Structure 1
Amino acid sequence: MNTTDRTPADLLRSALAGDSGRPLVTYYDDTSGERVELSAVTLANWVAKTAGLLQDELGAEPGDRIAVLLPAHWQTAAWLLACSATGVVADIGGDPAAADLVVTGPDRLEEARACSGERVALSLRPLGARFPQTPEGFTDYAVAVPGQPDTFAPWEEPDPDAPALAVDGREFTAAELVAGGRESARGLGMSAGDRLMSTRDYDSWEGLAAGLYAPLAVGGSVVLCRPAGALDQRTRTRRAESEHVTHFAD
């Protein structure tokens, strides 16, 4: 963590400048049995490629709004940080008809079709696999993102004081996401090196803070567990021990 960080993209750069090989986001899907672990280096690579897709392939510009119809997931974290890197406003659960672009999981494809702009679909299958057949009218993220460059340079640096994210009736600038992440980390008792297990979804500020912004803001890490109802107490205890969890957000 660097006190001069003004955007979530800055926070990721600070994580890279520290112990870049440590786990930053670990994801469990207790329906499929999937476990994915991303270091700061690996997450930054996904963010760079996703930002390149947004800016260079989909033509998104700073201030454009993207309806994000995705659950708490490691790929969602990459999309949120890519939005920060490009200056695109991430509208969590936003109306696709009112958005410039939309990104969706497989369960909200019909809803996402209301967007008249670019549409991107994620299969959310284990290891980021592609759809067996690309949904009509959508770009398959798993097909489009691998060919993007491993580094990203924005056309213009995002303004920390410009809108960056909307969720549950609240709107945040990039600087407010950083400040809110730090405040949430204090509320959760987190500090550098701590590891948080979160079963919260990304449909509220509390879920987004616990599942991404708070750990990132203080140099910690997060273990995302989905869906929350599938995690029994025995599994939770065993996982917390194996993942060296220090804090919980349920």
Structure 2
Amino acid sequence: MTTTDRTPADLLRSALAADAGRPLVTFYDDATGERVELSVATFANWVAKTANLLQGELSAEPGDRVALLLPAHWQTAVWLLACSSVGVVADVAGDPKAADIVVSGPDTLDAARACSGSRIALALRPLGGRFPQAPDGFADYAVEVPGQGDRFAPFAPVDPEEPALIVAGREFSGAEVVERAAAEAPGLGLTGPGARLLSGMPYDTWEGLSAGLYSPLATGGSVVLCRHLERLGEESLAQRIESERVTATAR
């Protein structure tokens, strides 16, 4: 984090400039056995493509609301940073009826159909795989995003004081996300660059988002994001902590 980082997208740009090759998000799904590791560069590439999809194909503008009906997942983290890049409000588990765009996982498609705007569906399959057949009324993210540009520039500057995130009914500006993430990092055991936090917390609270994305990003650390961690025994968890060189945990 630098003194000029005012939004989560700024944090990602600083991380990219500092060390693009280091791990940023390592994701486990203990229901499927999936593991994927994204470096800062790879994660930033996904963010740029997703932001281009939002701004170009979906015509999203600063102030628009994007309902994210998604679990704690590496692709959810990508969407959160893409929203920040464009300047739209990421409404985590938000009401699709009140959203301009809805982004849904496979388990929330029925609820997502209440959105009268654009609808994007994520299969959440290993390696970002697509649906065998796109759900009716939705564009398949895995089909739409690969052809998007690898570099992103917003049409309008993103104001860090404008709303950027809604979670659990609370609204945060981009600047508040950055400030809180940095302030809370020491309490999570993120003491500086190289710290590695294992989080099994869901993304439907600020605490889960802070541990599972924002605080590691703000401090030059990385996150081992675990979905369905409750399925992992204590011995296997201890092995993961050792093999992934975890320095702190949030469960």
**Runs of at least 4 residues of structure 1 off by over 6 A?**
none
Residue number in structure 2 paired with 1:59: 59
SS at match of 2:108: helix
Residue number in structure 2 paired with 1:91: 91
Residue number in structure 2 paired with 1:157: 157
Residue number in structure 2 paired with 1:197: 198
1:115 paired to 2:115:
yes
Counterparts of 1:88 and 1:234, CA distance in 2: 42
SS at match of 2:184: helix
What stretches of structure 1 of length at least 5 have no aligned partner? none
Once the two structures are TM-superposed, the CA of residue 39 in structure 1 deviates from its matched residue by: 0.4
Counterparts of 2:55 and 2:232, CA distance in 1: 38
Q: Deviations over 1:69-124 (max 9, x none)?
A: 00010000000000000001000010001111100100000000000000000000
Q: Deviations over 1:139-161 (max 9, x none)?
A: 10000000000000110111000
Counterparts of 1:247 and 1:186, CA distance in 2: 10
Tell me which amino acid in the other structure corresponds to 2:221: G
Tell me which amino acid in the other structure corresponds to 1:58: L
1:13 paired to 2:8:
no
CA contact (8 A) 2:24 2:221 kept: yes
Residue number in structure 1 paired with 2:173: 173
Residue number in structure 1 paired with 2:72: 72
What is the percent sequence identity of the aligned residues? 68
What stretches of structure 2 of length at least 5 have no aligned partner? none
Counterparts of 2:143 and 2:233, CA distance in 1: 35
Once the two structures are TM-superposed, the CA of residue 54 in structure 1 deviates from its matched residue by: 0.3
Once the two structures are TM-superposed, the CA of residue 229 in structure 1 deviates from its matched residue by: 1.4
Tell me which amino acid in the other structure corresponds to 2:144: A
SS at match of 1:106: coil
Once the two structures are TM-superposed, the CA of residue 193 in structure 1 deviates from its matched residue by: 1.1
Counterparts of 2:221 and 2:111, CA distance in 1: 35
CA contact (8 A) 2:189 2:197 kept: no
Comparing 182-191 and 41-50, the one that deviates more: 182-191
Counterparts of 2:232 and 2:214, CA distance in 1: 23
Backbone CA RMSD of aligned residues:
0.7
Tell me which amino acid in the other structure corresponds to 1:76: T
Residue number in structure 1 paired with 2:243: 242
Counterparts of 2:180 and 2:104, CA distance in 1: 25
Counterparts of 1:17 and 1:231, CA distance in 2: 36
Comparing 116-125 and 224-233, the one that deviates more: 224-233
Once the two structures are TM-superposed, the CA of residue 3 in structure 1 deviates from its matched residue by: 2.3
Counterparts of 1:3 and 1:26, CA distance in 2: 27
Counterparts of 1:223 and 1:86, CA distance in 2: 26
SS at match of 1:25: strand
Comparing 223-232 and 57-66, the one that deviates more: 223-232
SS at match of 1:107: coil
Counterparts of 1:227 and 1:211, CA distance in 2: 14
